Amino acid sequence: MFERVLNEVTASPETHARWLNTLSLMENTGARKISASEDPRKVSLEVLKHAAEEARHALFFKSQLQRLGALERCSTYEKKSLLAPRLSRRYLDQLEVQICKHLKQCLKLSGASLRYAAYLLITYAIEKRAEAIYPLYQRILEEKQIPISLKTIVQEEAGHLNEMTAMMKDLFGANWSTLAAESQRLEMALFERWSKALETELQLS
């Protein structure tokens, strides 16, 4: 279970710092991908808000390193400052490739239409993952009395999920749930690989 990973991650300040930095990396990657998917003439308020919040989440996790006295040690996203660095860096890239391939095959999308549809499905899958992990992480932080709170992020991620669901229903119509389920299936495979890489690095397997 991922709870085991989170308990081990928070067992020492040094490992916890690398975990926080890894989350910062992944949130920052998400923010950059949202911006890259934008149509420069048709950017909605929801998309701008989402990109800004993801960037702010990346800043939040990076700033928490100060509480652990580890900001200097994890000031960048270099390999030594991350957990499972190879898979953490490639997580969203791989999900994007797989979802775009699926959309090309089943809906024959390309160009701006493909980028926007992929943005919705990638975001939906990632928000579902955040819905599972962040509250669990919050509980462990509280149990160990670590002075970091994810409550605002949890609320914002829940808001993103609701927005993505509404936007997918508008774009895909009745087919939205099938596409959403496929995006979750693809993300689950990546998550399992990433979890195993974390377990190996933390010597849990």
pLDDT tens, residue order, the chain (205 aa): 899 999 999 999 999 999 999 999 999 999 998 888 877 777 788 888 888 999 999 999 999 998 888 888 899 999 999 999 999 999 999 999 999 999 999 999 999 899 999 999 999 999 999 999 999 999 999 999 999 999 999 998 888 889 989 999 999 999 999 999 999 999 999 999 999 999 999 998 6
Give the total residue count for the chain. Answer: 205
> Which structure tokens are listed for 93?
């890239």
pLDDT of residue 21: 97
In the prediction, which pLDDT does 205 show? 64
Which string of b and e fits 85-119 if b means at least 16 CB within 10 Å? bebbbebbebbbebbbebbeeeeebeeeebbbbbb
Q: 84 Cβ partners below 8 Å, 6+ apart?
A: 22, 194, 197, 198, 201
Q: Does residue 162 contact residue 125 with C-beta atoms inside 8 Å?
A: no
Residue ranges of domains in the chain: 2-201
Residue 144 has which token pair? 């160990």
- What is the amino acid identity at position 67? R
Angle between helices 2-9 and 176-201 (to 10 degrees): 50
Residue whose C-alpha is closest to residue 46's, from 132, 181, 166 = 166
Residue 74 in contact with residue 17, Cβ under 8 Å? yes
